[in-house]
């Protein structure tokens, strides 16, 4: 933001609303935009995860079913685009067919996000 003498209260409120909207959408307004662009899409993160991890064939088959059966709509979403509400909505939709598959899909999606976050530190 700015010093209180540099902007009006109305301008400060507008800036605060923009920041809150970014936070609500899952963005970190403190990160430079170039860093945000480097965050992979869901399908890209999935492919990297499968390639780098030493997974059993049954795990790979299960993940493939989740990615291409339940999450195909979201393949081109960057991982940081998913909001908490998106995750809840996806979970509810998958749960209509199978609560076990919904849990498994959310677990996989969570692993992909953690995997990508760890790569930043390694």
Per residue in 8-27, pLDDT tens?
888 888 888 888 888 887 77
- State the residue for tokens 């067919």: 97
- State the residue for tokens 């991982």: 79
What are the tens digits of pLDDT across the range 74-120? 999 988 888 889 999 999 999 999 999 999 999 888 888 888 777 65
Q: Which residues face 78 on adjacent strands?
A: 41
pTM of the model: 0.63
Domains of the chain: 1-30 (no CATH), 32-121 (1.10.150)
Q: What is the 3-state secondary structure (H, E, C) of 68-87?
A: HHHCHHHCCCEHHHCCHHHH
State in Å, rounded, how far the first CA of the chain is from the last one. Answer: 32
């Amino acid at each position: 933001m700015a010093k209180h003498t540099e902007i009006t209260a109305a301008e400060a409120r507008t800036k605060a609303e923009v920041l809150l909207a970014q936070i609500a959408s899952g963005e970190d307004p403190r990160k430079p935009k170039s860093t945000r662009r480097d965050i992979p899409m869901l399908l890209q993160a999935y492919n990297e995860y499968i390639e780098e991890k030493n997974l059993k064939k049954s795990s790979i088959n299960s993940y493939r079913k989740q990615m291409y059966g339940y999450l195909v709509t979201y393949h081109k979403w960057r991982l940081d685009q998913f909001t908490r509400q998106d995750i809840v909505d996806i979970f509810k939709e998958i749960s209509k067919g199978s609560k076990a598959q919904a849990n498994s899909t959310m677990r996989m999606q969570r692993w992909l996000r953690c995997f990508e976050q760890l790569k930043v530190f390694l």
